[in-house]
Amino acid sequence: MDNHLRGMELSEKEGALGRPRIATIRKEINRTEELEEAGYRSLAWALLRALQQINSATRIEGGAATSVLPFFQSAGRGDLLFCGEKEGPTVVIWESLSKQEKESWLEKARTMHGWVVWCNSKKGVEEIRSFELSEKEIFFNYDETKSKEEKNKKNRSKKKAHRGQGVRYRSWWKQGNIKMAVSEDQASCWVHKDLSVTTKQMIQALLTAARASGGKDKCQVRLTGIERKYWMGTEIGRLGGYSFPGTVTAGDRSNKKEEKMGAGYINLRKKRKRQQRKVGREVEGSSSNRPELAAFVMALHGTPVRKPMLYLCDNQTLLKAVKKWVGEGGKATLVGAPDADILLEAIEKL
């Protein structure tokens, strides 16, 4: 994240993350943790991209400096500017703003037309927000959900109606977790009354994104345009993965139901080229390094011998086991080595 912000040429004079970068990020971390403790969850990228398409937004109002999005040229919250400029068509994440920040934005919105507000649907006798009086609502899912639940209850169906909106899990920005959950809060989308939203495709894309739940968020690697700096600032980017001249693969293990372990790898250049396999025995538990080795071996088998290969993993034990057999050094032996059979297969391929 920090490398991404550096690449966006932040202004030390006006940008919040100029010279006092560390102090500002600490404040943002504390604020984000307080919001999440109160129940707020960050919107999924798929939903934010759909909102961006409505008004071709270049700026996002809301969120935090700890999770600046790569597909907006400008980001900030109230008087706090994360990057870019304060002007331009804007997507407003209402629930992420403080009371003061909401009032500040409403004052600015009086002279703006190119904005989209995503907010929780108002419940009962809650105070009416000023944009609800004169602007137009293009999306809401409260009535739809309620009617479906009543219909299912009447038909004695156990099927649950869609609820809430697609969001990330709590603390996703700390863990790099891109799995999606469903917020229980019903959502609404408001635009300026003069903003023309005519294409059914836009509304359908918004509806699809809002209904998305489970699985992983759509974080497609895009190495062109404004998103390039973000991806080049990630771990893979800084390791040279996106500019590597050969094959780039990544492997990992998985813990399946009933302690059954699996392994898999993917070719990052040919995303359809992937392989998965059950590995190990249930009695070994879920801490065995065997699946990690298996993923590595599958990647070796799937890559031509004469082609350079960069393998990405998160297991130090695997790296240590293989390192003994690479280059010159003391005489290595497989005697007593854990998972010697599968390690031998890897060594033969190397």
Closest CA to 65 of 74, 54, 56, 55: 74
Give the per-residue pLDDT at 219: 79
How far is 140 from 270, CA to CA, in rounded Å? 38
pLDDT band at 134 (very low <50, low <70, confident <90, very high): confident
Q: With 0-12 CB in 10 A as exposed, 13-18 as middle and 19+ as buried, what is 92?
A: buried
Residue 226 tokens, joined:
């404004």
Distance CA 328, CA 346 (A): 17
Q: How many CA atoms lie within 13 A of 311 on its CB side?
A: 26
Whether residue 327 is predicted with pLDDT greater than 70 in this model: the reply is no
pLDDT at residue 10 above 70? no
Q: What phi-psi label fits residue 9: left (phi over 0), alpha (psi between -120 and 50 degrees) or beta? A: left
**Domains in the chain with CATH codes:** 2-217 (no CATH), 244-349 (3.30.420.10)
Question: 20-25: long-range contacts (C-beta < 8 A, 24 or more apart)?
Answer: 24/65, 25/65, 25/66
Task: Evaluate if residue 33 carries a pLDDT over 80.
Answer: yes
- Ranges 122-126, 170-174, 313-317: which has the least confidence: 122-126
Q: What is the pLDDT of residue 159?
A: 40
């695997």: which residue's tokens?
318
Average pLDDT of the segment spanning 135-146:
68
Q: Is the pLDDT of residue 303 over 80?
A: yes
47 neighbors 212 (Cβ within 8 angstroms): yes
Tell me the mean pLDDT in the region 184-208.
80
Which tens digits make up the pLDDT trace of 256-292?
555 566 777 888 877 655 666 666 555 554 456 778 8
- 50-92 tens-digit pLDDT: 999 999 999 999 999 888 889 999 999 998 888 888 889 999 9
How much is the mean pLDDT over the chain? Answer: 77
Q: Tally helices (H) and strands (E) across the chain.
A: 13, 13
Mean pLDDT over residues 231-247, rounded? 87
Task: With beta carbons less than 8 A apart as the criterion, state whether 343 and 321 touch.
Answer: yes
Pick from 51, 54, 58: nearest CA to 75: 58
pTM, rounded to two decimals: 0.76
Mean pLDDT, rounded, for 148-170: 57
